[in-house]
C-alpha cells in the first residue's frame, strides 16, 4: 500500500486530505510542521509527499531546499498553497518538486497528481556529501557559503586558514559539483600522473592541512597546481601554519606563493557551537539515507550536550561521533546518557592529552585551551564555578578565555 506524507499546518486540511486519500486505499502519515515532517520523512519512508508552502516554523520551500541539499528528493514532492504564484511554482519545480497544486484543491487534480507521482520512477543520482548547503537555516554558514562560491567563481585555488575545530572539508564539499570526483592528495602514496588528473577532471583536489603532506605529496601538489585549467580542477586546502612558516619548513617558494594568493579564514566549530545541533541532525540524516546507520533520532538533551562539547578534531570528529552514537545506541532515540557514555571518556582522554609536537608557546596555549574547554563543559558554562575550580579571579578568567579564543556565547553564569 503506497504511503503518503501530508504536511500542512491547518488541521482541517490535513484531516480532509487524509480522509480522501485513505478512501483511495493509501496509507497516510500526517505532519503539522517542518519539524515533524523531517522526522516522518526518515521514520515513515513515504512514497510521496504533499507539502504545504505556508507554515509557521519553516516554510515548505525552505524545507524543500533542505531536502534537495541532503539528497532526499528521490521521493516525489507535490507542493500545495492557497496563495500560489507563478514565481513560487517555478521555484519549487526548479528545486525538485514534481507538481504544484493550488488550494482549494480540486479532487480530480489531487488524485491525478498523486497517481503521477507514484508512477514516476525514482531518479538515480550520484549521492552528494554533506556541505554548507545542508544548513540553510544558519546565518554564519550561509554567509560562508556565499563567500566560498564568490571566490570559486574567479579562482581555482583556495587556502583556508584553519586550526583546531576545522570545517575545511565542509567548505571544500560545498564547492564540489554534484557527482564530480574528489581526490584527497594526502591519501596518495604514489606520484600523481596525467591519467590520475584526467580521472579527476572537473572535481576537487583536497588537502585538510598542508602540514600533513610528505615531500613526495608536496611534489604531487605542485604537479597538479600547474594543470588546474587543463583538467578543470579546483584545489581547496587547509593550513594551520602561515606562509612564512611553510617556507621555513623548506616548502618550495613558488608553490607556497601560488597557494596563498587567495585565502579565507572560516569559523571553527568553537565559533559555531549554536550550529552544532543542526550539523549533527543533518549528518544523522545523511548517514541514515546512505544506509550507514539504522534509523535514529537525537533527543533535545543529546543535541544540547553535543553543542557544549569541544570538537578539536573539527567536522570530521563530529561526523565520527554521530556515526558512533547511531551505531552504539539500541533505542530509536539517542539520549543524553548515550552521549555521556560513548563520548564522555573520549573527551576526558582528549582533555588530558599533552601536545608535544609543537613549539612550547603553542603547546602551552593548546593545553590551556583544552583545559578550560573541558572544565567549562563540566560546569555547564558557569563562570563562577569555573573561577572557583581553576583558582582564577573572574576578570582574569574572562581575559584568559578571550585570549584563547574560547567563546562564551549564551552560557549560564548563575
Distance between first and last Cα of the chain = 55
Using the predicted structure, report yes or no on whether residue 104 has a pLDDT greater than 50: yes
Query: Are the C-beta atoms of residues 413 and 383 closer than 8 Å to each other?
Result: yes
Q: What is the DSSP string of 349-387?
A: HHHH----SS-HHHHHHHHHHHHHHHHHHHTTT-HHHHH
User: Minimum mean pLDDT among 123-137, 246-260, 272-286: which range?
Assistant: 123-137
Q: What is the CATH number of the domain that holds 363?
A: 1.10.8.60
Structure-block grid coordinates of residue 112: 491525478
Going by pLDDT thresholds of 50, 70 and 90, the confidence category of residue 410 is: very low
Burial of 28 (0-12, 13-18, 19+ CB in 10 A): buried
Residues 254 and 146 grouped into a single domain: yes
Residue-range definition of the domain harbouring residue 78: 3-119
Q: Into how many domains does the chain fold?
A: 3
Model confidence pLDDT, tens digit, residues 159-217: 999 987 889 999 999 999 878 899 999 888 788 989 889 989 999 999 999 988 999 99
Using the predicted structure, report yes or no on whether residue 150 has a pLDDT greater than 50: yes
Nearest partner of 312 among 261, 259, 390, 369, judged by Cα: 369
Residues 323 and 200 grouped into a single domain: no
Q: What are phi and psi of 149, to 5 degrees?
A: -65, -35
Residues 308 and 346 grouped into a single domain: yes
Nearest partner of 166 among 318, 362, 322, judged by Cα: 318
Residues 226 and 324 grouped into a single domain: no
Residue 410 is assigned to a structural domain of this protein: no
Residue 165 is assigned to a structural domain of this protein: yes
CA distances from 322 to 33, 249, 303, 387 (A): 25, 36, 10, 32
Residues 55 and 80 grouped into a single domain: yes
Model confidence pLDDT, tens digit, residues 363-394: 777 778 878 877 776 666 778 778 877 878 77
Using the predicted structure, report yes or no on whether residue 126 has a pLDDT greater than 60: no
Amino acid at each position: 500500500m503506497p504511503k503518503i506524507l501530508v504536511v500542512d499546518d491547518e488541521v482541517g486540511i490535513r484531516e480532509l486530505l487524509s480522509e480522501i486519500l485513505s478512501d483511495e486505499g493509501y496509507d497516510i502519515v500526517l505532519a503539522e510542521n517542518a519539524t515533524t515532517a523531517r522526522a516522518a520523512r526518515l521514520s515513515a519512508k513515504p512514497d510521496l509527499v504533499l507539502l504545504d508552502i505556508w507554515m509557521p516554523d519553516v516554510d515548505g520551500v525552505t524545507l524543500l531546499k533542505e531536502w534537495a541539499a541532503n539528497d532526499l528528493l528521490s521521493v516525489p514532492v507535490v507542493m500545495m498553497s492557497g496563495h500560489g504564484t507563478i514565481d513560487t511554482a517555478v521555484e519549487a519545480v526548479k528545486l525538485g518538486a514534481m507538481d504544484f497544486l493550488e488550494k482549494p484543491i480540486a479532487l480530480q487534480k489531487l488524485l491525478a497528481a498523486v497517481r503521477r507521482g507514484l508512477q514516476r520512477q525514482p531518479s538515480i543520482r550520484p549521492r552528494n556529501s554533506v556541505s554548507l548547503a545542508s544548513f540553510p537555516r544558519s546565518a554564519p554558514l550561509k554567509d560562508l557559503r556565499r563567500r566560498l562560491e564568490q571566490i570559486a567563481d574567479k579562482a581555482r585555488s583556495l587556502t583556508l586558514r584553519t586550526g583546531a575545530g576545522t570545517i575545511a572539508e565542509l567548505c571544500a564539499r560545498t564547492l564540489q559539483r554534484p557527482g564530480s570526483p574528489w581526490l584527497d592528495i594526502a591519501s596518495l602514496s604514489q606520484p600523481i600522473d596525467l591519467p590520475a588528473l584526467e580521472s579527476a577532471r572537473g572535481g576537487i583536489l583536497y588537502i585538510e592541512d598542508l602540514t600533513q603532506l610528505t615531500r613526495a605529496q608536496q611534489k604531487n601538489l605542485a604537479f597538479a597546481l600547474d594543470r588546474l585549467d587543463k583538467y578543470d580542477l579546483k584545489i581547496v586546502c587547509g593550513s594551520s601554519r602561515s606562509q612564512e612558516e611553510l617556507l621555513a619548513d623548506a616548502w618550495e617558494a613558488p608553490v607556497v606563493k601560488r597557494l596563498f594568493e587567495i585565502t579565507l579564514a572560516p569559523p571553527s566549530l568553537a565559533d559555531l557551537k549554536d550550529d552544532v545541533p543542526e550539523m549533527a541532525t543533518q549528518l544523522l540524516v545523511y548517514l541514515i539515507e546512505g544506509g550507514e546507520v539504522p534509523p535514529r533520532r537525537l533527543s533535545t538533551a543529546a543535541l544540547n550536550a553535543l553543542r557544549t562539547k569541544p570538537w578539536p578534531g573539527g567536522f570530521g570528529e563530529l561526523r565520527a561521533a554521530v556515526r558512533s552514537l547511531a551505531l552504539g545506541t539500541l533505542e530509536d532515540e539517542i539520549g543524553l546518557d548515550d552521549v555521556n557514555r560513548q563520548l564522555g571518556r573520549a573527551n576526558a582522554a582528549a582533555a588530558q592529552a599533552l601536545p608535544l609536537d609543537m613549539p612550547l608557546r603553542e603547546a602551552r596555549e593548546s593545553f590551556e585551551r583544552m583545559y578550560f574547554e573541558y572544565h567549562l563543559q563540566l560546569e555547564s558554562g558557569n563562570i563562577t564555578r569555573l573561577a572557583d575550580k581553576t583558582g582564577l579571579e573572574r576578570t582574569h578568567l574572562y581575559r584568559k578565555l578571550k585570549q584563547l579564543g574560547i567563546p562564551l556565547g549564551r552560557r549560564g553564569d548563575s
